[in-house]
Amino acid sequence: MGGYRGGKQTVEGVKCLDVNWLNRNGYFKTYFTPGKSALGTVRWTYNGNPSGDIRTRTEEGRFILEYKYRQGGEDWEEVTQGISLIWTSCNYGGQRPWFTCSNCGRKVGKLYAGSKYFLCRHCYNLVYQSQREPLHYRLMNKAHNIQKKLGGHPGSAYSFPEKPKGMHWKTYNRLYKEYEFYDNASWIGAGIKMGIIEP
* Least gap, CB of 71 to Zn ion (angstroms): 20
Q: According to the binding rule CB under 5 A, does residue 104 interact with Zn ion?
A: yes
86 makes contact with Zn ion (CB under 5 A) = no
Nearer to Zn ion, 10 or 147 (CB): 10
What is the rounded (10 degree) CA torsion for 15, 101, 89, 14? -10
Question: How many residues sit in the footprint of Zn ion (CB under 5 A)?
Answer: 7
Q: To 10 degrees, what angle do helices 169-194 and 135-149 make?
A: 160
d(Cα 141, Cα 138) in Å, to the nearest integer? 5
- Looking at beta carbons, which residue is closest to Zn ion? 101
Distance CA 106, CA 162 (A): 45
| CB 158, min distance to Zn ion, A | 43
The verdict on 143 binding Zn ion (CB under 5 A) reads no
Residues 112-141 that bind Zn ion (CB under 5 A): 119-120, 123
Chain centroid, CA 175 distance in Å: 28
Secondary structure (3-state) at 170: helix
Shortest gap between Cβ of 85 and Zn ion (angstroms)?
Answer: 15
CA distance 10 to 121: 9
Contact call for residue 17 and Zn ion (CB under 5 A): no
Site residues, Zn ion (CB under 5 A): 101, 103-104, 106, 119-120, 123
